[in-house]
Amino acid sequence: MVAGAMPLWSQVNTEQVLRIGQNALYFEDYMLSIQYFNQAIQAKPYLAQPYFLRAIAKLNLEDYNGAEADAAKALELNPFLTDAWEVRGVARQNLGKNRAAIDDYTEALKLLPRNRQLLFNRALALIDIKENDAAREAFDEIIGYYPGFDNAYLGRARVELEQADTVAAKADIDKALSINKNAANAYIMRADIAIKSHADFEGALADIDQAIKLMPRVAGLYINRAFLRYNLDSYNGAMADYDYALSLEPYNAVALFNRGLLLAEVNANDLALEDFNRVLELDPDDYRALYNRAMIYRAKGNTEGAIADISRVADRFPDFPGALYLRGELYRESGQLAKAERDFKNAKAKALALRPEPEPAEEGGSATSTPGSDTDDEAIPDELVSKRFASLLTVDDNASIQEEYNNSAIRGKVQDRNINIEIEPMMQLSFYSAPTELRRNTYYIREVDDLNATRQLRFVLVVTSVVPALDEAVIARHFQSIEYYNSHLATHAARPVDHIGRALDFITVRDYQNAEKDIDRAITMAPDLALNYLIRAQARYSRYQLERNSSSSQSSDALTRASLGRKALNDIADDLDHAISLSPRSAVAYYNKGNILYELEEYDLATAAYNKAIELKPDFGEAYYNRGYIALKAGRSNEGVADLSKAGELGIIPAYNLIKRITRP
């Protein structure tokens, strides 16, 4: 059991256990944080705070039932814990318990009247239970309090669309964009209005283009743009969008189906067949794909396969004349004349029985009107049903209005939907890294290589830009390692490497205070080892991040906060200067110093540090990105874009997102 491997600090200092658990929560190590909160709950089950914090961790792991239960326990112990009402409300909203969520937000609002996030989430929950009048009043109230809150206008526009008030909805969307031109959802919603109200494909395309610049990795946007391009007779543009959507999501059935239709339209039957086959691998009961595959089989002379597919469609939709006509043709072509005659007669009878109805405004435009759904196709004329079987689909979940959270620790599964633009993070010394296909994410420092060669550490040390969240088994190994060092140091003469190893274990389990104590001892014993100063700078910076974002810091005097923060950053910069003096060819030390100088708003000095890092390591993508970011901030657009382009070439994915935002007209 992991808990058994953890130090029993909860018996001595529950406050310390909670602090370290909050450290892990802040750094999104949710499994690790839960282990600490478990210890605190075992030691003092009458405290509300550990249950509340564990609820946040579970919420971020999408364990909504567990989060609801823990938040409920926290409220049982302390009903005045405002954030616990919010956490339970968010959990319940994700579980579809919207009325209960509204009750929780209402309770929280008694403690925090006019809180923007609570009011907003309550309004969204009202939409979910179809209480549109109440939701509209709720958004009116929010806008009254916060007239500059763009998402409130989008939320009200969503209600207005539900109430078929398109004019008011468009006005609210336009207002949101006047406040925030980067509101991607506003462009998507406005494009939808343009299509459905008056088939303005060109206007919709302009808005979807803007949305894609802001959210370039959302496959659904490319699918919808392809639909628009097709309607504007841009076959190649539509095909390019489907290809790119599938590069983002190779198993996206809508993109596969639509691309198959376009390929069939130009008689690229073999390629179309591959796409329809892939759709049917994902969903064997996709009747649109079966219908169109039958058409491809017929064109290729595979009558048996075509009959098999269209028979399944005809069985599922017995009143669909188109399927019966097609099967009749196939029977006739294969010489089965009696069966052909029977299908032709049945098809004619079905067609005569259908009553003509006006064509829907969004013909083929909704991914929900698919064969195999519960749509009443029996009451629709043959030609319209056929169009439904062979028309392009769109996706309708790109413009969902996302919740906002009063408690910043609640991130949820949509935390990265809109990418925040910030510099690339500091390099870290760790036993773990998270490489990707584009980035190796580990870097060379001679002293690290030398230390690993001695085999005196219990784990192999790497320099990385991305430290992954760790699972329970890994966490347990590092608690055991800390206990090993405790025992070893109690019975043997201390060596610098023992304190370095234990400090790195403490960093791994997010106990930065003890890490700093250990590395201080290592520096006393080995003051000329550059690695010690890099490790201490890392521990100090992690502690600075936590203190900067802690609730206690938020409540203190702002001037005092700024002064203490600046002193902490200067201490970190001193450590990095010391590391550079001992190892003057360490590109990582210069890069980390650049990041600290950036936070100190010493932008020219930060740029000089990145220049040196790039001089020492010409393929240092993160340094190019951060230098480019500073150049853009200073208004040096050409210089900044050049650096970002190089960063993107070196695998720094956010570079392209930033370039698109900057170069957009």
| Residue 580, in any domain of the structure | yes
Top pLDDT among 115 and 472 is at 115
CA distance 103 to 160: 24
383 and 450 in a single domain? The answer is: no
- Segments forming the whole domain that contains residue 543: 429-617
Same-domain pairing of 442 and 387: no
Enclosing H/E stretch for 463: strand 462-464
Distance separating alpha carbons of residues 212 and 230, to the nearest angstrom: 17
The residue out of 397, 421, 441 marking a domain boundary is 397
Question: Is 638 inside a domain boundary?
Answer: no
In this prediction, residues 494-521 reach a mean pLDDT of 94
Q: Is residue 204 one of the residues assigned to a domain?
A: no
Question: Which tens digit of pLDDT belongs to each residue from 208-261?
Answer: 999 999 999 899 999 999 999 999 999 999 999 999 999 999 989 999 999 999
Per-residue pLDDT averaged across 270-282, rounded? 95
Q: Do 469 and 498 form a contact (C-beta atoms < 8 A)?
A: no
pLDDT score at 421:
66
Q: Tell me if 191 is assigned to some domain.
A: no
| Choice among 163-167, 208-212, 254-258, 656-660 with the minimum mean pLDDT | 656-660
Alpha-carbon Rg for the chain, nearest whole angstrom, is: 30
Confidence of residue 49 (pLDDT cuts 50, 70, 90): very high
500-512 pLDDT, tens digit per residue, is 999 999 999 989 9
Residues 483 and 374 in one domain: no
For the packed helices 587-599 and 603-616, what is the interaxial angle rounded to 10 degrees?
170
From residue 635, give the alpha-carbon distance in Å to each of 419, 604, 632, 638: 21, 13, 5, 9
Q: Give the model's pLDDT for residue 372.
A: 36
**Per-residue pLDDT at 389:** 56
pLDDT at 497: 95
**Lowest mean pLDDT across 118-127, 292-301, 395-404, 575-584:** 395-404
Size of the chain in residues: 665
Q: Is the pLDDT of residue 660 over 80?
A: no
The answer to whether 421 and 658 are in contact (CB under 8 A) is: yes
pLDDT range class, residue 324, cuts 50, 70, 90: very high
Rounded to an integer, the average pLDDT of 126-142 is 94
Does residue 65 sit within a domain?
no
Per-residue confidence (pLDDT) for residue 353, from 0 to 100: 77
Beta strands, E only, 343-431: 428-430
Whether residues 260 and 371 fall in one domain: yes
Identify the weakest region by mean pLDDT among 27-36, 64-73, 517-526.
Answer: 27-36
Per-residue pLDDT averaged across 634-649, rounded?
Answer: 84
pLDDT greater than 80 at residue 359 = no
Q: How far apart are CA 92 and CA 105, in angstroms?
A: 11
What is the largest distance, in Å, between two alpha-carbon atoms of the chain? 97
Q: Could you tell me what percent of the chain has a pLDDT over 70?
A: 83
CATH number for position 585: 1.25.40.10
Sheet strands side by side (includes 462-464): 428-430, 462-464, 442-443
* Phi/psi at 397 (5° precision): -115, 20
Asked which of 212-221, 367-376, 420-429, 472-481 is least confident by mean pLDDT, the reply is: 367-376
CA distance 622 to 613: 10
pLDDT value of position 459: 93
Query: Cβ of 267: how many Cβ atoms within 10 Å?
Result: 10
Residue 311's pLDDT is 95
**Residues in contact with 193: Cβ distance below 8 Å, sequence separation at least 6, in sequence order:** 161, 166, 169, 170, 173
The pLDDT, as a whole number, for residue 625 is 94
Residue whose C-alpha is closest to residue 37's, from 510, 63, 52, 60:
52
* pLDDT for the residue 561: 61
Residue 357 vs residue 202, higher pLDDT: 202
Angle between helices 184-198 and 150-162 (to 10 degrees): 20
What is the overall mean pLDDT for the chain? 85
pLDDT of residue 396: 60
Give the mean pLDDT of 111-120.
Answer: 91
Domain annotation covers residue 545: yes
The mean-pLDDT minimum among 111-125, 326-340, 467-481, 624-638 falls in: 467-481
Number of domains observed in the structure of the chain: 2
What's the Cα-to-Cα distance from 402 to each of 91, 346, 405, rounded to whole Å?
14, 50, 10
Q: Is 130 a member of any domain?
A: no
Tell me: do 379 and 435 sit in the same domain.
Answer: no
Between 564 and 634, the higher pLDDT residue:
634
3-state secondary structure of 275: helix
pLDDT of res. 412: 41
* 436 and 330 assigned to the same domain: no
326 lies in the same domain as 447: no
**Average pLDDT rounded to a whole number, residues 531-553:** 84
User: Do the beta carbons of residue 526 and residue 532 sit within 8 Å?
Assistant: yes
DSSP 3-state of 464 = strand
The per-residue pLDDT for 17 is: 86
> What is the pLDDT, as a whole number, of residue 652?
80
The model's confidence at residue 90, banded by pLDDT at 50, 70 and 90, is very high
Query: Do residues 472 and 604 share a domain?
Result: yes
* 308 shares its domain with 390: yes
When mean pLDDT is compared across 269-278, 559-568, 617-626, 627-636, the lowest value belongs to 559-568
pTM for this model (two decimals): 0.59
- pLDDT over 80 (residue 78): yes
The confidence score (pLDDT) of residue 391 equals 62
Judge if 390 and 467 occupy the same domain: no
CB-based contacts of 267, cutoff 8 Å, min separation 6: 299
pLDDT at 4 over 50: no
pLDDT at res. 661: 64
- Band of residue 469 on the pLDDT scale cut at 50, 70, 90: confident
pLDDT in tens, 56-71: 988 888 888 889 999 9
Of 46-50, 255-259, 431-435, the least confident:
431-435
Report d(CA 504, CA 99) in Å as an integer.
47
Does 513 reside within a domain?
A: yes
The answer on pLDDT for 649 being more than 90 is no
pLDDT of residue 351: 82
What letter represents residue 263's amino acid?
L
- Shared domain for 441 and 582, answered yes or no, is yes
Looking at the fold, whether 437 and 551 belong to one and the same domain comes out as yes
